[in-house]
Chains A and B, each alone.
Chain A
Amino acid sequence: MKPLELYLHIPFCVQKCKYCDFLSAPASMQERQDYVWSLCQKIRSYRELAKAYHVISIFIGGGTPSLLESSQMMEIVKALRETFFLDGDMEFTVEANPGTLTMEKLHTYRSLGVNRLSLGLQSAKDEELKCLGRIHSFADFLESYQMARRAGFANINVDLMSGIPGQTLPGWEETLRKTAELGPEHISAYGLIIEEGTPFYEMYGEDGKDRAQHEGELPDEETERLMYHRTREILEEYGFTRYEISNYAKPGFACRHNLGYWERTEYLGIGTGAASLIGNQRWNEGGEKITLSGKDQMEEYMFLGLRKMEGVSKAGFSRIFGCEIEAVYGDVIQKMCEKNLLEISGDFIRLTDFGIDVSNYVMSEFLL
């Protein structure tokens, strides 16, 4: 049996955030119930496929999965257990937002085997939360966080966001410290991406190119980069290690599910728009299946693998593709090393700090 990761998408939220381009929207109770029912149907439809796999991680994301009632979550997990072979020590994450969690829901999650909670905080400053269109305050978050600890969650991630309109470098540092001091096992710290179709895109344009019209709102590139570099410095003080471009963890708490995406572990996405990689095929639910050529797979191995701070393994490359990495990418690697964008450390090729800042430039070089 091969390892498999499962992603379940819950496309509901209380209110859409201004930066959010995920498939998610407010919905009625009835809609949510209907969705859960069809999600369970869909899960069960994979009965045949499931036979070849054992599940190493589950991630229920959204949207705001914590919006679901305990009973609905139970139905979903029941369907999962009946369909898939779930490893006893698998990582099982549920995404939750402050303001939607209750002690009762948390106890239910625990009883269902959920062992990791991912909390969306984004900022410790209420004015920034308001600017993002979040429904909660920092105090709301603290309450949810402590409740989760009391419920017994020993692996908690907190999502943070830099580059928020109006954010300053000291403000960001304050958010980092306030969060780190709470002692979560994992922090994801993303730079704001202005995505098409979001209210922020309307305001600031593609890549924030219309930022000048809103002077002083979006931190400039220089500040944004400083924020990024300070993030690692500060979180290291609290015992975190950066293991991916935007992810930081205490030892042993790197998110196994997400590492799977960057290491091209097979995964099955279930629910509206969810993405799957099974064998050499990628698809999004409701969309066409794309068959990846050998070249596509090599490219993915590189540009996804380079997101990890340890980099990509040369031995891993030759094991998977049956040829030396140098035979395919020797010139690119050399060129990127000369520019101080990549470095080689033993079996691993990884981005330098400078390389991270301009990683799109580096990664695009690996497209064949």
Chain B
Amino acid sequence: MAGIEQKNIRNFCIIAHIDHGKSTLADRIIEMTGLLTSREMQSQVLDNMELERERGITIKAQAVRTVYQAKNGEEYIFNLIDTPGHVDFNYEVSRSLAACDGAILVVDAAQGVEAQTLANVYLALDHDLDVMPVINKIDLPSADPERVIEEIEDVIGIEAEDAPRISAKTGQNVEDVLEQIVEKIPAPEGDPDAPLQALIFDSLYDSYKGVIVFCRIKEGTVKKGTPIRMMATGAKAEVVEVGYFGAGQFIPCDELSAGMVGYITASLKNVKDTRVGDTITNAAHPCAEPLPGYKKVNPMVYCGMYPADGAKYPDLRDALEKLQLNDASLQFEPETSIALGFGFRCGFLGLLHLEIIQERLEREYNLDLVTTAPGVIYKVYKTNGEVIELTNPSNLPDPSEIEYMEEPIVKAEIMVTSEFIGAIMELCQERRGVYDGMEYIEETRAVLRYHLPLNEIIYDFFDALKSRSRGYASFDYEMDGYVQSDLVKLDILINKEEVDALSFIVHADTAYERGRRMCEKLKEEIPRQLFEIPIQAAIGSKIIARETVKAMRKDVLAKCYGGDITRKKKLLEKQKEGKKRMRQVGNVEIPQKAFMSVLKLDDK
């Protein structure tokens, strides 16, 4: 598309709390700008991964370019950059925002401002984006747009009086949003003749094209043949193709110049070379400085992943390698467990990221996995001055060699209506939270601030929060370093043998309770076997809890004659199938799901 003037480009994103209607509005914008016919519309065009659709969560940032014929008679290019809506992917969100010039803030007309709304707005304001509020879901009976507008003005402090009141679902007033994008979101700036400076906000691996880099051109111009260099990773390549984002497809064009959003391919083989946030420059005429804000994201949560069938180890490795091509934040290295055999210690941005990878491995690669309890990275300060970053509880040194340990802490903001403040405070205290303060944002709602250990929130904190506030609390957090903590390793012994894959690190104060519940849970999960099986929880050599699985006394078919044989064989097959899902530890067969049971201790 030659001849596009910068003044007719709008680069923006949509930010919202989960379920406030971000994806629906994106769909409407795409639909109403006429790029797609109604027939082509899938319900959520931007979320093209099957998994995303099911979970209703946008996992990877994506972009789409549409053409809008404004009421002033001019044609505008809209580059809508989608942002992940989960705290696990905060860094990706910040890079997507950096690729935009403005943001549409979608707020639910019934629910009003939520924790993620605030977190996202602050993030957008940090990037000097113009934030344009939109009140969504006005078709709901409980909608109160005027109250929400007031709230936006009071709590966030941005002008919202003329915010479009829309229903993205029905399409009502979405036209106003389009007009306001033209009016309120600034056109990009930048000099097409300056040295190239392009921000990478995402990348994906395609088996034909290699790595496809999603970028925003801040300065300069890039086209086929341009020699490029990634300023942080140092990777160099020559551009093979540039283009922009159709709906669900890549459309090549001649060049991308300052102000544009598009993609570059350059026969790069690995997404590790094109880290989100890095700056692409012209290797021959480099810019003086990279764009600010790049950081290498590091996994926060680790767990062991093992193939249920040991023979599938190479398949798991291949699958992880393939996923990593598209996901530079996924890390893995081989490890061995006595109980589970060969597998990988994998690092994730958060629990959601873990679950997504796990599901993709199972679904797209047909792998049956055994996953150990997720843990965070602990810092172990040894008496000899060495410091270990512990990602696998089994590697914890002998207590006599440990001077002290530290665990990661997050700064959390929880927004909650006043009636649930007590319940949420109680929850935070149970999770070893340190109270930092509370602010009423309106008469009936407050923001609670806590410092919480990351290992207390990675499992089920979000669920507990929702259930104790009847769904009304919302939550956002950011990492806030490490603090010293009284941590112990809790070991599980099954039939007197320590099962390495079941060990986990826990605060000394909660060890007894966790140990007891773990034993109870395992007693439910482990089927009766030929002998009695003691299940014990231990700290060091001290047993702190015990349960017993009674011996199986009887498993026999009294009758089996001619007419029964086929049916009886099916029964035996079922039994055999059950056994396949077991792991042999010593003499005991442990169902694979037992290894995950530590996750579900709070299920009541």
Contact = CB atoms under 8 A, between A and B. Distances in A.
Interface of A: 7, 190-193, 221-222, 224-225, 245-246, 258, 261-262, 267, 269, 273-277, 282, 284, 290, 299-300, 303-304, 307, 339, 341, 354, 356-361, 363-365, 367
Contacts of B556: 191, 245, 356-360
B470 interface: no
Contacts of A269: 562-563
Contacts of A356: 556
A273 B563 CA distance: 8
Nearest to B573: A367
Contacts of B561: 258, 261
Contacts of A276: 562
Contacts of B568: 303
A6 to B, nearest CB: 11
B554 A221 contact: yes
A282 B555 contact: no
B562 A360 contact: no
Contacts of B559: 190, 193, 246
Interface string B525-568: 00000100000000000000000000011111111111111101
Contacts of B555: 357-361
B575 interface: yes
Nearest to B552: A358
B496 interface: no
Contact of A339 (B530, B552, B557, B558): B530
Given A361-B575, A367-B572, A275 B563 contact: yes
A231 to B, nearest CB: 11
B140 interface: no
Contacts of A224: 554
Interface of B: 530, 552-566, 568-569, 571-573, 575-576, 579
Contacts of B554: 221, 224-225, 357-358
Contact of A359 (B557, B563, B565, B566): B557
A361 B560 CA distance: 15
Nearest to A246: B558
Contact of B562 (A225, A261, A364, A365): A261
Instruction: From B558, B565, B568, name the one whose CB has the most chain A CB atoms within 10 angstroms.
Output: B558
A46 B267 CA distance: 72
Nearest to A22: B563
8 contacts: A190-B559, A191-B556, A356-B556, A358-B530, A359-B555, A360-B571, A360-B575, A361-B552
B527 to A, nearest CB: 10
Contact of B566 (A192, A290, A341, A363): A290
A357 B530 CA distance: 10
Contact of A221 (B553, B564, B571): B553
Nearest to A161: B558
Nearest to A162: B558
A364 B575 contact: yes
Contacts of A364: 572-573, 575-576, 579
B563 A300 contact: no
A222 B553 contact: yes
A34 B582 CA distance: 52
Contacts of A275: 562-566
A178 to B, nearest CB: 21
Nearest to A287: B566
A235 to B, nearest CB: 15
B557 A193 contact: yes
Given A275-B565, A358-B554, 7 more contacts: A191-B558, A193-B557, A246-B558, A290-B566, A303-B572, A354-B530, A361-B552
User: Closest 5 interchain pairs by CB?
Assistant: A275-B563, A191-B558, A364-B575, A190-B558, A364-B572
B557 A300 contact: no
Nearest to A220: B553
B572 A282 contact: no
Given A299-B569, A339-B530, A367-B576, A360 B557 contact: yes
Contacts of A300: 565, 569
B578 to A, nearest CB: 9
B575 A261 contact: no
Nearest to B529: A361
A8 to B, nearest CB: 12
A181 to B, nearest CB: 23
Nearest to A7: B562
A361 B553 contact: no
Contacts of A290: 566
B572 A360 contact: yes
A354 B555 CA distance: 11
Contacts of A258: 561
Nearest to B556: A359
A363 B563 CA distance: 18
